[in-house]
Amino acid sequence: MNSLDNIIKSRKSTYPKDYNQEEITQEELEALLSVTAFAPNHKKTRPWRFHVFTGEAKNALGEKLASVYKETTDPEKFLENKMKSIQEKVDQSQVMICIVHHISQSVPEWEEHAAIAMSVQNLWLKATELGMGGYWSTPGLVRHLDDYLSLEENENCLGLFYLGKTDQEFPVKDNDWKEFVVFRD
């Protein structure tokens, strides 16, 4: 699977229920995060920040997410199973990454969001190459993590990236890219 085409075509969302419990080493984490810095970004703002949670810090993040759900959900809409599911997904992940936007004011926000997405895509492609599963989740709960993450005034959390090793296959998919392209001469 080492060709870039195959890595791109086999990248997929893999959910925590499909992670095995094999540890992700510090060396593997650094390999994943090192490629994030190579995303294109206008005026070199590098608007991405990643807060990486492992071990007890990851468990505490899961507890925080579950408590935020309980505190911010209307009692009539609160579901005990959903709160437990939030914690379980974190427990099943070997690593949790909070994706943070470091706002620069020098370029439009949409350009910075695009750069952050490209940075996350680099992470995701590297994870695929290493046989790891992951997915980017954007629950409303992340709006309530600023204090917990000790974010600066010009930062906000855009989402969570769940990461774990998996025994799943990463088959190369074939999509009909031509339906999204218009050639003009």
- pLDDT for the residue 12: 93
pLDDT digits (tens, 9 = 90+) for 74-112: 999 999 999 999 999 999 999 999 999 999 989 999 999
For 16, the domain range is 4-38+47-168
Q: Which CATH number characterizes residue 66's domain?
A: 3.40.109.10
Report DSSP letters for the chain, one per residue.
Answer: --SHHHHHHH-----GGGB--PPPPHHHHHHHHHGGGGS--GGG---EEEEEE-HHHHHHHHHHHHHHHHHHS-TTT--HHHHHHHHHHHHH-SEEEEEEEE--SSS-HHHHHHHHHHHHHHHHHHHHHTTEEEEEE--GGGGG-TTTTT--TTEEEEEEEEEEEB----PPP---GGGG-----
Is the residue at 179 inside a domain? no
* DSSP one-letter code for 44: G
10 to 1, 58, 106, 116, 167: CA distances (angstroms): 9, 28, 35, 21, 14
Is the residue at 80 inside a domain? yes
| pTM metric for this prediction | 0.94
- pLDDT for the residue 158: 96
- pLDDT for the residue 165: 97
- pLDDT for the residue 2: 67
Is the residue at 53 inside a domain? yes
Is the residue at 175 inside a domain? no
Is the residue at 94 inside a domain? yes
pLDDT digits (tens, 9 = 90+) for 25-83: 999 999 999 999 999 999 999 999 999 999 999 999 999 999 999 999 999 999 999 99
Is the residue at 185 inside a domain? no
Cα 92 from chain centroid? 15
Is the residue at 177 inside a domain? no
Tally of domains in the chain: 1
The pair phi, psi for residue 166, each rounded to 5°, is -145, 155
pLDDT digits (tens, 9 = 90+) for 116-163: 999 999 999 999 999 999 999 999 999 999 999 999 999 999 999 999
Q: Which residues of 115-137 are buried (b: 16+ CB within 10 A; e: fewer)?
A: bbbbbbbbbbbbbbbeebbbbbb
